[in-house]
Structure 1
């Protein structure tokens, strides 16, 4: 199974929940979860900034093969550069399109905290 977590909120508790969900999916003892992706857009971008409070947790998830995809439209809107994000985060043109693509073309289940 594959799961995409959609991180949109600037609320710190929701950001922590999204990252915890990814960790819980990875730690699932049934070994039924094959891939986890987190698509970040809007105010959720704060969770993946290189100088943010969650940077270490994001790095650990990246090391454990969680795919992070950040919305380029949001980066532009927030006047951020790809270099402002934790190293290893991929950018995609549009976050909502990426979530839709993962669901429809790659069979990901959708979760939103």
Structure 2
């Protein structure tokens, strides 16, 4: 099974929950979870910004193989550059399109 977590909220509690879910899925011992991905857009971009409150947790997930994808449209709207993101985060043109693409590939959608 594969899961995509849609990180869209600027609320710190929701961001922490989303990252905790990613960690729980990654650490699942049943062997049924193959891949976990995180797509950030809108206020969720804050969680993947370098120097942010969630940087350590995001870095740990990236180091453990979880791909993080940031919406380029959101970066433009928020006047951010790719260099403002935590190292290792990929940008995609549109976050919603990326989530839809992953769902089409069989990823289960999750949004805390």
Matches within 5 A, 1:1-113: 1-104=1-104, 106-113=105-112
- Please give the TM-score of this superposition, normalised by the length of structure 1: 0.98
- Distance in 1, Cα, partners of 2:103 & 2:26: 19
3-state DSSP of counterpart to 2:79:
coil
- Distance in 1, Cα, partners of 2:16 & 2:9: 10
Offset, 1:31: 1.1
Stretches of structure 1 that go unaligned for 5 or more consecutive residues are none
Offset, 1:52: 0.2
When the two chains are superposed, the root-mean-square deviation of aligned CA atoms in Å is 0.4
Stretches of structure 2 that go unaligned for 5 or more consecutive residues are none
How many pairs were matched up? 112
Dislocated runs of 4+, deviation >3 Å? none
- Please give the TM-score of this superposition, normalised by the length of structure 2: 0.99
Question: Cα deviations across residues 44-84 of structure 1 (Å, max 9, x unaligned)?
Answer: 11000111011011000000100100000000000000010
